[in-house]
Every structure is written in C-alpha cells, then in structure tokens.
Amino acid sequence: MRRLNHAMTVAPQLQHRRITVALSRDPYDVVIGQGSLANIGQALVEAGIQAGRKVLVVSNADVATPYGELCLSSLRGHGFDAELLLIEAGEDQKTPATIAKIHDTAFARKLERSSLMLALGGGVVGDMTGFAAATWLRGIGVIQVPTTLLAMVDAAIGGKTGVNHPGGKNLIGAFHQPRLVLIDPNTLATLPQREFRAGMAEVIKYGILGDPELFTLLERCKEPDHAEGLTNGLLETILERSAAAKARIVAADEKEGGLRAVLNYGHTFGHVVETLCGYGTWLHGEAVAIGMVAVGELAAQRGNWTREDADRQRRLIERTLLPCAWPPLDPEAVLDTLQGDKKVRDGRVRFVLPTSIGSVEIHDDVSREEILRCLENLQA
C-alpha cells in the first residue's frame, strides 16, 4: 500500500512559467505563457532543437482553423520545415487506423530520426501523435502543444501515448516523453464549455490526491464550470499547480512502477464507463468524474474515508456541471472490464482510494463482493 499526502504551495503567477519535468534521462520543460503559441518556433530553438528540422504538425480542424497557421508561421519563421496534417480527434477515432494515417504522412514527408512531430490539440491528438512519434523509425521527437484544459493539466505531460482497443482504453501504447510541452492559456478562449468542464475533472482529481488547498479554492469558486468563472488568477493557479504536481510525480516514477499510479484516481471506474458505454459517448473527463464519484462511494463503503468527504467531492463535481450518475451497466461486464485494466497485477485490480481530501492510497485488496455492493449502492 502506498500513501500520498503532501500539499503544494501556490506557484507565483508569472507571465511565462517554466516547470521542469526532472527525469534522470532527457528532462524537459513545461512552458506556460499567455500568447506563447505565437512563439513556438523560438521555444523549440530554446529547447535545443536545431532550425531546419522537419516538423509534422498534427491537429484537427476545430483547432487548426484558429491556431494552425499561427503555429506554422512561427515554426517556419525560425527555420523549421513545417507541414500540417489534419486528423479526426474524437475518442472513437483513437485507433491504429489513425496512427497509420500519421505514419503514411511521415513516410510521404520523408521524416527522419532528427525530425519531429508536434501535437496541436487536445488529449486525443496528443496521445495519437505521441504514439505515432514513438513508433516512427523506432522513435522520433514529439512536442506537445495542448489546447484543451484536460490536456494542459494532465494528458500532455508525462509521456503516456497510445490508442484504444475494443477491449479497453489505451491498451495499445508506449511511454514516449516529449521534448517540450508548451501551454498557451489563450487557446482556451475557443474551447467549448463541455470540454472545459471535462478538464476540470482532472483538476479536482489533483485536489483529492495531494492538494487540499486547491480543492478548497475550487469549492469557494462560485462558477467553476467555465473559464470566466475562475476569477482572481485561479485559472493560472490551476494550470501551474496541476502541471507542477504532474511533473513531480512523473519525475519520481516515469513508467508507473509505483507512485505514478495515484494519477489514475477515478480512472479505473472511468475507463470502464468509456469502454462499456462506447468510446465517444462520454468525454474522458466526464467519465473520470463518474469514476471519482464511484471510487468515492467504494472508499466510504470500506471506511477508507468519511461519508462527509465523499459528499464534498460529489458536490464539487456537481457544481462543475459534470456527470455523477453511474450508468446502467451489467455488473458482470464491469467486473470483466476491470480485469482488463492496464494496472492489474497478478490478476488483482489496483484501486486508488481516497483517505481524505488531499490523500490517497493504492489498494489491491478490494473484493469482488465489495465492487458489486458499490455498484448496487451507486444505482440506488
């Protein structure tokens, strides 16, 4: 059993904040700055990437329309040979077939081992571009430029890449760390509110697993369901604290041998929801919100944390206008899908269970009967 219980101090609100993912091999920076996308070319140069390299920018139409040319112009202005590839970015498109399309373009563009792929978009674009880069010529560099809140605070940092399999989410993938993560909060201006709310699920997750002060700040926010409601610099605080938390955990456990598993809080049940309801039915963050409510119920049922804390979590999720209700899924199908989870060890499902707001533990002793009782309580 592992325990995580450490609060984080508020990061200074700088115009451009640089957070280092301090890996023992190939560390990299997360750069957060208003308007930084317009300077992506300079950011690559500062990251030690030589001008003249080929860069395949992978994006989707909704993101490329407002930001594609801005990105390409900056890259080309700093001497990079940049081209844009558009892909479909729905969760149901996160498949080997889409990876093949990226590989086909890499072949046509004659990308070399010194070339780069750049993901401009949300978590799905980032996951697929990262996996395509990891598997092209046995691995070329990737740059992550997230444009959704969920990708900014979670998916773009840490090197997890992959695609879905009919039997489970992200079962096909690789760890492939980016050379740089660049976050421009200005891109959130064009993000649909539903996508913003989905990202807030991951922010709430950070509050539960190690930042009770952040959780309290979110509770005090009158309208946490949209960016305009995050007043007094709260959005910048969210981005910085979330990135710093992810960077610290990834640096300590790059390939999820132990501590990093806490980042899966809410994801074990959440991935079941995505798999059984069909990819694309729920946004990833929405499924994580449902998963957090479910694992909160399981923890309260087992006595790992109080009913009061479980209710606090649920109220914040509800106030963020995220779904809480467990869908009508066959319990046996749920159990079967849980056994296919990536985090299963020796046939035992590992759950990240909260012990309080700001503290979690990893358990592999949750019985079949406890899971079934939890599902029954969720349906009551």
Question: Active-site residues: which are they?
Answer: 138, 160, 202, 246, 256, 260, 264, 267, 271, 284
293 CB-side CA count, 13 A: 23
Contact predicate 245/237, CB 8 Å? no
* Cα distances (Å, whole numbers) of residue 107 to 76, 78, 101, 111, 296: 21, 24, 10, 6, 47
Report the alpha-carbon angle 329-334-336, nearest 5. 140
Task: Select from 42, 257, 59, 84 the least CA-distant residue to 151.
Answer: 59
Which helix (H) or strand (E) element contains residue 308? helix 307-319
Contact predicate 48/12, CB 8 Å? no
Contact predicate 54/27, CB 8 Å? no
Residue 25: what are its φ and ψ, rounded to 5°?
A: -125, 130
The secondary structure of residue 367, as a DSSP letter, is -
Return d(Cα 232, Cα 147) in angstroms, integer. Answer: 22
* Cα distances (Å, whole numbers) of residue 261 to 17, 249, 257, 275, 350: 26, 9, 8, 20, 9
Contact predicate 352/295, CB 8 Å? yes
Task: Characterize the bridge pairing of strands 3-4 and 359-363.
Answer: antiparallel
Contact predicate 373/332, CB 8 Å? no
Both tokens of residue 124?
């799905």
* Cα distances (Å, whole numbers) of residue 27 to 68, 139, 252, 361: 27, 17, 12, 28
